[in-house]
Amino acid sequence: MNWFRTVSVLLLLVALCGFGQAVILTVTAVDDTSGSPISGVKIYVNGLYEGETNSVGQYRYEHGLDESFRLGLEKTGYIQWQSLLSETQTTIRAEMSPRATALTVTVYDADTLKPVPDALVKVTGEEYVNSVSTGIGGIVSFNVRAGAIYNVEVRAINYDPLYKTVEVENIAKAVDYRLIRDDVFIVEVEDQDTGAALSGVDVYIDDIFFGETSAEGKVTSFVERERSHTIRITGNEYLAYSDEVYIASDMLVYSVELSKTLYPVTVSVYGVDKMPVAGATILIDGKNSGTTSDYGRTGIVYLDAGLHEMQAAKDGFTTVTKTVTADDTLQDVIIELNYADTAVTITVHDKDFIPVSGASVSANDIYQGITKADGTCATPLQSNVVYLITVRKEGYTPVEVTREIPLGATEITFDIEMNKVFNPLVFVVIIGVILVGAVFYLKRGNVSLKRRGKRPPKTRHL
């Protein structure tokens, strides 16, 4: 009985030990082309991550599964590998196929951002070398192995070579590269007097027009190094520049200072009567340039090309400012001065020097105003002119007088006397009054004589 019990226990223990024993699966990942082991391959069992292969491409998976399971292997650059394994299988060799993908390179000019055609692009990697030239759009494509790192070298005429490193994953890779020209040559233009940048100036190199200078006074060109080139620069209002320049390999910027063109100019000043005005002060751009001679002219002055402000002034004349453009066509600047105005006061009174108000005043048939209560009328009139002054008022005889205003006079007063108009009706009335008085006087005399007993003297009739 005891023996039977002992045997049963031993058999049970053996069965239990056999049921719980773990299975070790050794997974070996290799490249199906080269047969070399692949490290870093990710191991999945029934979709669950378990680990990665070691440096020799192996992974030991220990399990106690009681049924078959799905084994999956993944690594960048390879096509995914899967297989259904028995729970008792202890080894598996997974031959993984490299994944191919596209590497697209587009080459641009760094300054213009335009595609660069005919650029040679070389791609090198592990067991991979290929060179292709870009097309019109600056694009080239390579069929490379995914999951690898590649060196990219780009070369083009008149550009510095470019070296880049790119890592290609499992999907297609596109990269854009910009090439810097090795023949860039910048011309910088400034004003010689002010040092300010000159924009809008034309730049030619070897008679090829490269454009106008920007707001910063610069033009970018492309020239061959280690040789001489003719640089010519032209601009409005400036002297043309030309020079033979040797452009070395390390010469990037060439600076030029332009001086303005000088034009000889004289200034002539006349009055409204076309007579020369001597002694007029001339200002050019705010600076005194002397006075005019007896002939109304200045000496020769030299003006920079462009706009200038000229001013002529003299006592007795109005000050005139004129803007001129100095260029090949300008030789003599003519300025015409008008006579300055004089403050004129016209005083009107009668023969007894009593002010006449409300009188209309005209000068050379131009109405000037009406006299005020004090008999005055103030008006500005141009000097150095003879005026016919007319004064009119109802009840007064119109008056016309000639007066001259001297050149340079600032103020002057003209005295004018007006007489009242003789009215015949008033004369008749006066005569009538006298006659009535005489008749009345005579009649009164006759009455006095009769009262005294005297007869009036007889009148002899012829």
Per-residue pLDDT tens over the stretch 277-310? 999 999 999 999 889 999 989 888 888 888 899 9
How sure is the predictor about 14, in pLDDT bands with cuts at 50, 70 and 90? very low
* Mean pLDDT score, 243-270: 90
CA–CA separation, 140 and 152 (whole Å) = 12
* pLDDT band at residue 454 under the 50/70/90 scheme: low
Distance between CA atoms of residues 372 and 358, nearest Å: 6
- The percentage of residues in the chain with a pLDDT greater than 70, rounded to a whole number, is 89
pLDDT for 133 beyond 90: yes
CA angle 228, 229, 235 (to 5 degrees): 150
CA 408 to each of CA 206, 291, 311, 388, 413: distance values in angstroms, whole numbers, following the listed order: 64, 18, 19, 20, 15
pTM of the predicted model, to two decimals?
0.45
pLDDT of 367 > 80? The answer is yes
**Residue whose pair of structure tokens reads 């005889």 in the numeric block:** 397
Token pair, residue 186, equals 């910048």
pLDDT in tens, 25-44: 999 999 888 888 989 999 99
Q: What is the mean pLDDT of residues 47-57?
A: 93
- Look at 60 and 34; give whichever has higher pLDDT: 60
In this prediction, residue 272 carries a pLDDT of 81
- How far apart CA 186 and CA 111 sit, in angstroms, is 12
Helices (H), 251-377: none
What tens digit of pLDDT does each residue of 64-100 get? 898 999 999 998 878 889 999 999 999 999 998 888 8
**Candidate CATH numbers 1.10.40.30, 2.60.40.10, 3.40.50.2300, 3.40.50.300; the one for domain 100-179:** 2.60.40.10
Q: Is the dihedral of CA 274, 277, 281, 284 positive or negative?
A: positive
Give 50-90 as a DSSP string. EEE--TTSEEEEEE--SS-EEEEEE-TTB--EEEEE-TT--
Distances (CA, A) of 281 to 252, 299, 320: 51, 12, 11
Per-residue exposure over 98-109, b if at least 16 CB sit within 10 Å of its own CB, e if not: bbebebebbbbb
Q: What is the model's pLDDT at position 186?
A: 93
Q: Which of 188, 205, 189 is nearest to 245 (CA)?
A: 205
Pick among 3.40.50.410, 2.60.40.1120, 2.40.30.30, 1.10.260.40: CATH of 184-258: 2.60.40.1120
CATH topology of domain 263-337: Immunoglobulin-like (2.60.40)
Residue 426: what pLDDT? 56
Residue 78 or 346, more confident:
346
pLDDT of residue 326: 85
Specify the pLDDT at position 446.
60
Overall size of the chain counted in residues: 462
Is 462 a residue whose pLDDT tops 50?
no
Q: If we measure between CA atoms, which residue out of 340, 321, 341, 322 comes closest to residue 330?
A: 322
The fold of 341-417 is: Immunoglobulin-like (2.60.40)
pLDDT at 431: 74
- Over residues 182-195, mean pLDDT: 91
Q: 453 near 385, Cβ under 8 Å?
A: no
Sign of CA dihedral 156, 159, 165, 169: negative
Q: Pick from 186, 189, 184: which is nearest to 201 by CA?
A: 189
pLDDT at 70: 93
Phi first, then psi: give them for residue 442, nearest 5 degrees. Answer: -65, -45
Structural domain boundaries of the chain? 23-96, 100-179, 184-258, 263-337, 341-417, 426-462
Q: Between β-strands 202-205 and 208-212, what pairing exists: parallel, antiparallel or unpaired?
A: antiparallel
Q: What is the per-residue pLDDT for 270?
A: 92
Does the pLDDT at position 207 exceed 90?
A: yes
Buried b (16+ CB within 10 A) or exposed e, 24-35: ebebbbbbeeee
Q: pLDDT confidence of 428, banded at 50, 70, 90?
A: low
Whether the per-residue pLDDT at 1 is higher than 80: the answer is no
CATH of 23-96, one of 1.10.20.60, 2.60.40.1120, 1.10.3720.10, 3.50.50.60: 2.60.40.1120
Common-topology check for domains 100-179 and 341-417: yes
Residue 162 and residue 179: Cα distance in Å, rounded?
7
Confidence band, pLDDT 50/70/90 cuts, at residue 156: very high
- Per-residue pLDDT band for 213 (boundaries 50, 70, 90) equals very high
CB 266 within 8 A of CB 289: no
Q: What is the predicted pLDDT for the residue at 450?
A: 56
Instruction: Specify the pLDDT at position 315.
Output: 86
pLDDT digits (tens, 9 = 90+) for 306-336: 889 999 998 888 899 999 988 888 888 999 9
